[in-house]
Amino acid sequence: MTVDGRTMADRLSISIGEMLPLSARRTPDKPCFLFPDGGWHSFALTNSRVNRLVSALRAQGVRRGDRLAVFALDSHRYMEIVLAAMKLGAVYVPLNYRLTRPEVDVLLDRSTPVAVFYDVRYADLLAGIRERHTGVRLFVALDERPDEPESEFDRLVGTGDDAEPPVICTDRDTIALAFTSGTTGLPKGVVQSQRMLKNITYAGIIDYRARPDDVRYCAAPTFHISGVCGLFMGVAFGFTSLVLPQFDAATAQRFMADDQLTAVFLVPTMISSVLQLPGVADHAYERLRLITYGASAMSPALLRRAIDTFGCDFLQAFGAGTEAGLQAVLPPEDHRRALEGKPELLASTGKPSYGVAMRIVDEDMRDVAPGQVGEVATRSDQVMDGYLDMPEETERAFRDGWFRAGDMGYLDDEGYLYLHGRSKDMIIRGGENIYPAEIETVLAEYPAVAQSAVIGVPDEHWGEVVRAFVTLRTGHEATTDQLATHCAERLAKYKVPAEFVLMPQLPTNASGKILKRELRRWPAVAAATPAAVPSPDRETADH
């Protein structure tokens, strides 16, 4: 039996939109969002603002299924839009604020939003949006202009009524449309249901060991699924979330050192940046109990420096992000085992996370033996519904009831997952398969290396050869010959990079993940002439 298109199971299910009012009733005066200047909004105030925004948007004609695009840095206003969409039954469309205008136009053409919310800093970039995209009825600046005491967004919120709207969303409803890329080819629009985001939130609460008394900071941007679900965790479970516009090592370290944070989510490059701050080791970090990291493994040397400095537990998370959420976790207990005599565990991403079934398969979807590299295939309630208007791409990602993101790896006899990079990143040199992650792990062991990225480049004789891009730690030096010797002592000859390029920095996305796509675009250069390699002039999306 259905009522208004909803089954009884739909009507009894809790929606993401209800998580905020439920937390507001439990702890109305508790901080929901903490700000860089020390200010905060309580759960009750946040719920009130979201209710008024829902009312104001309805008055402007926004209805269930309409799309709301956001082009902005992280803020409480950004999350209010997302939470209002959850209550409205609207679909929020997070856009990477590092995109160019032509890229934004492509994504708006594909997503057809009725509203665009943006930061004032992007006003020039977005000029003429409503003329170019005639379906956009609302074009609202989130923050204040220099000559205005109140933002357009806050004025809009002020026109609404503070009344709790009825529950209309079901787990089958699409509530987000996120794009995996905006720079090459036709971007994939990932259709994300309430079922997906709700289960990622629940899995995060369990696997990231959340507590109601936590004060957490997630450095992933809100336009990224790990960032928004990191904030959903706080909304649902009732802990406080620090919201910074962008990751800033000094600001994050200040909150950690001032004993305001109990847990943080960073990527290894961010952890390295914090550890290089002056005076970072002069604090006790007494309240900090957990650092979760993702996007790449952490070298034993970096982990040891981090543990010696912060004295807390560490947890590694591996996910297929935009398309399939959290997939594997290496918990604190395994980090301690690694430091007590099993360092190889640090090369692992752990075991399947909560509610995730995992297999390693060959091209014909047959299970491969432990220790044999294949493609990671998973099945869970955290998986997307598919790609917007791309049936062939959707069919390619799903096979026999399993999702494949293109990640290559193997399971050992204990069930730990070891990644070997993505299938598209695999290098074939003279018929030999080379996995960049293995070489990057070896480079991370060199004391002077801060970051590395390994790619394959065309070669007339071998088909492909290995090129390694490397950045050095502050105050350290290394030559390309020294790096080559280090690799030759630890790798088979055919795996040793033919070229090393020393760089001041590597291109990363807003989550700190190195963009190998950008490195592949750079012109071929001699290994000893790093100055000839251009530095990236901006960051781009690569979820």
Residue type, 206: I
Q: Regarding predicted confidence, which is higher, 301 or 41?
A: 41
Q: Chain centroid to CA 368: how far?
A: 29
Q: Is 90 exceeded by the pLDDT of residue 150?
A: yes
pLDDT at 339: 83
> Which domains are seen in the chain, by residue range?
10-193 (3.40.50.12780), 247-423 (3.40.50.12780), 426-532 (3.30.300.30)
Q: Which two tokens stand for residue 536?
A: 């990236």
Residue 321's nearest CA partner among 88, 100, 97, 509 is 509
Say what the pLDDT of residue 292 is.
96
Cβ-contact 380, 369 below 8 angstroms: no
Share of the chain above pLDDT 70, in %: 90
Whether the CB-CB separation of 117 and 72 falls below 8 Å is answered with yes
What is the per-residue DSSP string for 375-415? EEEEESTT---EETT-HHHHHHHEETTEEEEEEEEEE-TT-
- Distance between CA atoms of 310 and 291, rounded to whole angstroms? 9
Segment 179-189 shows an average pLDDT of 65
Q: How far apart are CA 295 and CA 291, in angstroms?
A: 14
Distances (CA, A) of 411 to 92, 121, 299, 378: 37, 47, 20, 13
Q: What is the pLDDT of residues 497-510, one digit of tens each?
A: 999 999 999 988 76
The SS3 call for residue 337 is helix
User: Looking at the predicted structure, is the pLDDT value of residue 543 above 60?
Assistant: no
Q: Per-residue pLDDT averaged across 29-47, rounded? A: 97
Q: 55 near 160, Cβ under 8 Å?
A: yes
By CB neighbour count within 10 A (0-12 exposed, 13-18 middle, 19+ buried), where does 457 fall?
middle
Range with lowest mean pLDDT among 169-173, 285-289, 294-298, 445-449: 294-298
pLDDT digits (tens, 9 = 90+) for 74-83: 999 999 999 9
Q: Which residues pair with 319 in a beta bridge?
A: 326
Among the residue ranges 387-391, 419-423, 446-450, the one predicted with the least confidence is: 419-423
Provide the pLDDT for residue 295. Answer: 67
Of residues 539 and 177, which shows the higher confidence score? 177
Output the pLDDT for position 320: 80
pLDDT class of 540 with cuts at 50, 70, 90: very low
Q: Both tokens of residue 329?
A: 């976790």
Does residue 32 carry a pLDDT above 70?
Answer: yes
Tokens of 159: 């026109």
Angle, CA 414 vertex, CA 408 and CA 490 arms, to 5°: 60
Residue 534 is classified by DSSP as P
pLDDT at position 464: 81
Alpha-carbon distances of 209 from 204, 214, 259, 504, rounded to whole Å: 8, 10, 19, 36
Answer for the pair 177, 366: CB distance below 8 angstroms, yes or no.
no
Span 71-121, pLDDT tens digits: 999 999 999 999 999 999 999 999 988 888 888 998 999 999 999 999 999
Flag whether pLDDT at 441 surpasses 50. Answer: yes
Mean pLDDT to the nearest integer, 55-82? 97
- What integer pLDDT is reported at residue 523 of this predicted model? 64
Residue type, 424: K
Report the mean per-residue pLDDT for the chain.
88
* Structure-block tokens of residue 4: 């208004």
- The predicted-structure confidence for 300-351, as pLDDT tens digits, reads as follows 778 888 999 999 999 999 988 789 999 999 999 999 998 888 888 888 899 9
Q: How far is CA 348 from CA 131, 179, 241, 279, 295, in A?
A: 50, 28, 29, 31, 13
